A and B are shown apart, each in its own frame.
Chain A
Amino acid sequence: MEQRRPKHLVLILAREFASTLATPMLISDADGNLVFFNEPAGGVLGRSFDEVGELPASRWAELFETEELDGTPVPLARMPAGIALMEARPAHHRFVIKGLDAVRRVISVTAFPLLAHTDDLVGVVAIFWRENTGDPQQT
């Protein structure tokens, strides 16, 4: 029997939603652990969730390299998911992500906190919008 802490119902419902969505979507829990991303998001991150699995907060931030369009690194505190998690507010940003397949992609990310109640943050949802830049490196 699994010993992991049961997921909050809001995360379970978010995963059900993400699983049926064609838009790339990623979910983290309240501690910033990556708990799920859907198949379309796997196309952006360069691996499927089945391959990657759940990742602790410290690990996934270093696995997926991100940088501004001018090449400067994007600190976690300025990433939409980081803002949604740490400040409990929605955020949007356009930047470059290098997936686990080593391909760099320009994406826009919209992230928002999942609040079970007014002051009860249970996780974060991030939605990716891929952009067609004409860059042959982008799949």
Chain B
Amino acid sequence: MKARIWGCRGSLPTPGPRTLGFGGNTSCVSVELDNDALVVLDAGTGIHELGLRIEPGDSRPIHVCLTHLHLDHLEGLRFFAPLWRPESEIHIWGPPSPVSPLFERIARSFSPPLFPIRLSDVPCSLSFHDVPGGEWQVGPARLLAEPVIHPGPTLGFRVDGGGRTLAYIPDHEPFLGGEHGGRASDWLSGYAVAAEVDVLVHDAQYTADEYASRVGWGHSSIDQTVRYARAAGARRLVLFHHDPLRSDDELAALRDRAAVLWGAGGRPPELAEEGMEIRL
């Protein structure tokens, strides 16, 4: 299994000299299992570059798994090249809603005045699926989606391929109600997704000081992310969803802080950056 990060910025695309190192595109991670299928986690602006790398003759079904429909996780979908090829087979997976089906919710961003072409006019073979209640199979991989704490219906995904596991929880505020203290891990938001994974890609948008004035916004501080990863038993932590105001230098300082928090034992936390490959 090979994962590649195409966008790791949170909230807003931030191109420019301050973000050249880690990148300014919003959330998108591809997971290649073999030649049977391609899993794409979120469709932020990073998916644009991914789409350009997928050759027109590539016949693999593409499974785009959306954690939620906030714009920074969806806005690249309209510019995903395979979407505009009749031969493409694309499956969109997303969080169920009691209000309207996934197609209708996504179709809003494919309609005037936001966009000139309607979703129903997209030429590829496109299907929409609410994530199931348990695991499901995509090619050789088992996928699992669980709701996590973030405003609106939001998921975390777990990809299990060949006995190796990757969890992706880019927007998450697991300690919204305060610290868990001695609470058992089965009360941890997203635990079914993150438990004992080889790699956890997780929201780390804020410093502890920033978080204090942003409680309820749906994101984690670096400190919380490290505690969450430890509580879930993740073996490797990749810090994701960088704040749009954070420069490369500031991110590097956060990485150092995360390493201190992580302490001894195992690989210290890493910062997600565009182009980063994770081999499992």
Contact = CB atoms under 8 A, between A and B. Distances in A.
Contact of B98 (A6, A15, A20, A117): A117
A117 B130 CA distance: 12
A1 B177 contact: no
Contacts of A17: 177
B146 A20 contact: no
Contacts of A16: 176-178
A15 B184 CA distance: 13
Contact of A7 (B186, B195, B233): B186
A4 B184 contact: yes
B98 A19 contact: no
Given A9-B146, A13-B149, A1 B176 contact: no
A16 B114 CA distance: 38
A1 B98 contact: no
Interface in B140-159: 146-149
Given A9-B146, A13-B149, A19-B177, A2 B96 contact: no
B185 interface: yes
Interface residues of B, number: 21
Nearest to A115: B98
Contacts, number: 46
Contact of B196 (A1, A19, A120): A1
Contacts of B184: 2, 4
B147 A9 contact: yes
B146 A6 contact: yes
Given A1-B233, A117-B96, A118-B98, A6 B191 contact: yes
B188 interface: yes
B149 A9 contact: yes
Contacts of B191: 6
B233 A12 contact: no
Contacts of B146: 6, 9
B169 interface: no
Interface string B183-226: 01111110110011000000000000000000000000000000
Nearest to A4: B186
Nearest to B177: A16
A112 to B, nearest CB: 16
Interface string B166-182: 00000000001110000
Given A2-B185, A6-B188, A12 B149 contact: yes
A2 B186 contact: yes
A36 to B, nearest CB: 8
A46 B146 CA distance: 35
Contacts of B187: 7, 12, 15
- Nearest first, the 10 A-B pairs at minimum CB distance are A16-B177, A9-B147, A6-B192, A4-B186, A6-B191, A2-B185, A6-B186, A2-B184, A2-B186, A117-B98
Given A7-B186, A15-B187, 8 more contacts: A6-B146, A6-B192, A9-B146, A9-B148, A9-B189, A10-B147, A20-B177, A118-B98
14 contacts: A1-B196, A2-B184, A2-B186, A4-B184, A6-B146, A7-B186, A7-B187, A9-B146, A9-B148, A10-B147, A12-B187, A17-B177, A117-B98, A120-B133
